[in-house]
Amino acid sequence: MPHDLDPRLLRAFTAVAEELHFTQAAARLYVAQQALSRDIRRLEGALGTELFARTTRSVRLTPDGERLLPHARRVLAAHDELAAAFAPAGRPLLVDIGAPVGTAPRVLDEARAAAPELELTARFHSGLTGAAAEILAGRLDVSFGRVAGLAPAVLSRLDHLPVRYERMAVLLPGDHRLAALPEVPLAALAGEALYAAAGNPHTAEWTDLAERLFDGRGIAVAAPFPEIDGKDEFVRLVTKHRWPVLASTEFIDLPGFVLRPLTAPVPLTPVSMVWRRGLRHPGLDALRAAARRLSSADGGWLTRPPHTWLPAPDARLMTPPGPRTP
């Protein structure tokens, strides 16, 4: 057993082990598939064993691959923690806020105001599923969203802090039959198809929440559409196709559309702050402190009113104690 394995080889191995697909693992690591395959062969050669059983249709871990995976994750977590501990003090913290409105930008603004000497740099990924992969690959530090929608293997490598229950809403064309209502009962949406980002792999946690909400209510998730890149393109497409959109009550303005809270029952979107397990950075401390201040303020971000809807897995993950203390 070699004592000086390159962490890059272990990172390549864990990506393939979690994706069970070489092309997807290569895309996640931003490397060519040939380079990824070469690193896996190097690791197998160094360890003297095969780690994957490959066919033309599938990839699966061998028993030795299964045995290596938890060790590789621990080594990489320690490596990332070491790198973070000795990183230059001025390294920016990369914070995915998804959109310019809502919970995440409010937490970011609060942290920047409290710690102006730190550089908290915003990124705008479209969903937590995609952002979590970027966090684990080291290309992002923090994101926000619904952690119950993440795969268990991904969530096990992240820490998370419950921040807020956002109320859900529907975005409607101004002349829609329900647009004049101050609130829209869920039952009134029966027969409608709402855009909920189906077809975008980076927002799978949001589409899953929509499907859970619509199940048994006669509401459909609109047909999959290719990933929409950026706010301007989202506005153009929704306006052009006049899609009703499942949203939150804090949402970007669209000309000719109205935003109406959903009711009977009131559905909630659980929002947590998420970061790579073992990460240490003063900016992370500032964000966590800001999130806790906002969550406990008069607005009661973590107070769940009666007669609201939330899936049981989400309710469990939004219950303290939340994250481990580094």
179 and 142 assigned to the same domain: no
45 and 125 assigned to the same domain: no
Residues 6 or more apart in contact with residue 247 via CB below 8 angstroms: 168, 169, 170, 171, 259
As to burial, measured by CB atoms within 10 angstroms (0-12 exposed, 13-18 middle, 19+ buried), residue 14 is buried
Farthest CA pair distance, the chain: 70
Q: Is residue 12 part of a domain?
A: yes
Which range (75-89, 229-243, 246-260) has the least confidence? 75-89
- How far apart CA 171 and CA 191 sit, in angstroms, is 16
Q: Is residue 126 part of a domain?
A: yes
What global pTM score does this model have? Answer: 0.76
Q: Is the pLDDT of residue 2 over 80?
A: no
145 and 277 assigned to the same domain: yes
Q: Is the pLDDT of residue 1 over 60?
A: no
Alpha carbons within 13 A on the beta-carbon side of 288 = 18
Q: What is the CATH number of the domain that holds 53?
A: 1.10.10.10
pLDDT digits 0-9 by tens, 94-107: 999 988 899 999 99
pLDDT digits 0-9 by tens, 148-205: 999 998 998 899 999 999 999 999 999 999 999 999 999 999 999 999 999 999 999 9
Share of the chain above pLDDT 90, in %: 74
Residues 6 or more apart in contact with residue 161 via CB below 8 angstroms: 272, 273, 288, 291, 292, 322, 323
Distance of CA 87 to the CA centre of its chain: 25
Q: Is residue 311 part of a domain?
A: no
pLDDT digits 0-9 by tens, 195-207: 999 999 999 999 9
Q: Is the pLDDT of residue 3 over 80?
A: no
Burial 97-126 (b: 16+ CB within 10 A, else e): bbbeebbbbbbbebbbeebeebebeebebb
| Domain stop point among 85, 118, 153 | 85
152 and 210 assigned to the same domain: no
Higher-pLDDT residue of 78 and 286 is 286
Per the structure, the count of domains in the chain is 3
Q: Is the pLDDT of residue 322 over 50?
A: no
| Per-residue confidence band for 325, with pLDDT thresholds at 50, 70 and 90 | very low
Vertex 317, ends 315 and 319: CA angle to 5°?
70
Mean pLDDT of the region 261-290: 95
27 and 77 assigned to the same domain: yes
Q: Is residue 156 part of a domain?
A: yes
Q: Is residue 321 part of a domain?
A: no
171 and 244 assigned to the same domain: yes
| Per-residue confidence band for 256, with pLDDT thresholds at 50, 70 and 90 | very high
40 and 126 assigned to the same domain: no
Mean pLDDT, the chain, rounded, equals 91
Write out the residue range of the structural domain in which residue 132 sits: 93-164+271-306
Tokens 């691959």 locate to 65
Q: Is residue 323 part of a domain?
A: no
| Per-residue confidence band for 90, with pLDDT thresholds at 50, 70 and 90 | low
72 and 193 assigned to the same domain: no
What are the φ and ψ backbone dihedral angles of 161, each rounded to 5 degrees? -125, 115
120 and 248 assigned to the same domain: no
- How far apart CA 319 and CA 322 sit, in angstroms, is 7
142 and 287 assigned to the same domain: yes
Amino acid type, 107: V
24 and 42 assigned to the same domain: yes
- How far apart CA 90 and CA 157 sit, in angstroms, is 25
Q: What is the CATH number of the domain that holds 255?
A: 3.40.190.10
Mean pLDDT of the region 61-80: 90
Q: How far lies 13's CA from each of 59, 79, 140, 229, in Å?
A: 12, 15, 20, 30
18 and 111 assigned to the same domain: no
pLDDT number for residue 284: 95
- Helix crossing, 33-47 with 7-19: angle to 10°? 110
Q: Strands (DSSP E) along the chain, which ranges?
A: 52-54, 59-61, 93-96, 120-123, 142-145, 158-173, 184-185, 193-194, 220-221, 245-248, 257-263, 266-276, 308-309
